[in-house]
Amino acid sequence: MTTLADILRGIEHGVFPDPDLTTSVVPAPSPRDTCVIGLTGHLVVAADVPVEWVASHLDLTDLAAPLNPPFLHALELFTGREVNGIDAMLLAPALVDEAERAELLAGLTPFGDESHPRIRRARRYRDEVRAFTTSDGGLVLTGLGLAGRREVALEVDAAARGRGVGRGLARAARALVPVGAHVWAQVTPGNAASLRMFLAAGYVPVGSEALLVR
């Protein structure tokens, strides 16, 4: 049986589900994770729901239906979860240039304040969270999130914004993952500044997702 992890690992290597204008239903990847993912010409419902239930709640003539409010609300009620927003998914490979990796990593300082709101939030959605600060007012976190994918989250002090700090953090995240691996970012589409930052750091958009949380 195809799993969400299979689909995400495939995307990391440039292999996407066929753009056949259908919706795949796969099991929820973990007790924590349930989601709907939109890709080019294909959608994926990763939830512990019967295929028949999904079909009965979808307008099969509308490819966008799984990410529209009526279906997402029905899925909320069925699973006892709430939609945590709809984000753009962006993806980048690990940096391979050893000199650049070393330079970026040298600018990071491990940060272990478990009371920090960003770290507390990250631990709700990710395992193996690691956090680092930079001298110019940045905070970057990595961890294993949806279906075990490597994810990044960033925070830039208000006084440091507009100086390229975020772009540097996004690029540093590509040095924090092993060569040959990939790192994912989830960005609210309306946050144009954040989208531009990740694009400038070498990330590319691959789809959209609605994460349902308890």
- Would you tell me how many other CB atoms lie within 10 Å of the CB of residue 46? 27
Residue 213 within a domain: no
CB 69 within 8 A of CB 94: no
Residue 210 within a domain: no
Tens-place pLDDT, residues 163-191: 778 899 999 999 999 999 999 999 999 99
Give the residue from 62, 88, 114 where a domain finishes: 88
203 burial level (CB within 10 Å; 0-12, 13-18, 19+): buried
CA separation for the pair 118, 99 (Å, rounded): 29
What's the token pair of residue 8?
Answer: 């995400």
Residues 198 and 97 both lie in one domain: yes
Torsion angle, alpha carbons of 73, 75, 81, 86, to 10: -60
pLDDT at residue 137 in the model: 84
CA separation for the pair 99, 65 (Å, rounded): 46
Residue 212 within a domain: no
Of all residues in the chain, what percent carry a pLDDT higher than 90?
Answer: 85
Task: Work out how many domains the chain is built from and give that number.
Answer: 2
**What mean pLDDT comes out for the span 133-156?**
94
CA separation for the pair 136, 168 (Å, rounded): 10
Residues 21 and 49 both lie in one domain: yes
Residues 52 and 123 both lie in one domain: no
What's the token pair of residue 209?
Answer: 């997702």
Residue 61 has pLDDT above 80, yes or no: no
State the residue range of the domain holding 62: 4-88
CATH number of the domain encompassing residue 200? 3.40.630
**What mean pLDDT comes out for the span 118-139?**
93
